[in-house]
Amino acid sequence: GENVEQHPSTLSVQEGDSAVIKCTYSDSASNYFPWYKQELGKGPQLIIDIRSNVGEKKDQRIAVTLNKTAKHFSLHITETQPEDSAVYFCAVRGEGANAGKSTFGDGTTLTVKP
C-alpha cells in the first residue's frame, strides 16, 4: 500500500518567518495531495490541495509544490502568525484500487513564537 513520510515532526519558527513541511510518498499512481490543519480538540481541516497535473498552487500565505518525479510535495507558509500554530498533516490519494482512500503522514507540530 501507499507509504507517506512527513518531515519534520516538530517545527518552531518566529512570527513572520516562513515554515516548510515536506512529505514523500511511494505510489506513483497517487494523484491528489491535500494538506490539513488540526487544532487541539478539533478534526483536521483542509487548507490547500493540489492535483498531479499541477506543479504549484498558492492561496494567500499558503502554497503547495509538487514534484511527481521525485514523489514529494511540500507545504509553504509565509509570514507566519501565532494562529498558524497547530498540527499539519499531509495526505495522498490515488486512483484505481486506492481511489477514495487517503493515506496520511504522521503530522508536523508547528509552533509560531510571537
Cα maximum dimension of the chain: 45
How, if at all, do strands 10-14 and 108-113 pair?
Answer: parallel
Of 28, 45, 67, 81, the residue at the interface with another protein (CB under 8 A) is 45
Which cell goes with 97?
Answer: 484500487
**Smallest Cα–Cα separation from 89: which of 32, 6, 26?**
6
Stretch that binds another protein, among 54-62, 63-71, 76-84, 103-111 (CB under 8 A): 103-111
Does residue number 59 form part of the binding site for another protein (CB under 8 A)?
A: no
Min CB(88)–another protein separation in Å = 10
Strand order in 56-59's β-sheet?
4-7, 19-25, 72-77, 62-67, 56-59
Task: Give me the least distance between CB of 32 and another protein, in Å please.
Answer: 8
The site for another protein (CB under 8 A) is made up of 4, 6, 32, 34, 36, 41-46, 49, 89, 91, 93, 99-102, 104-107
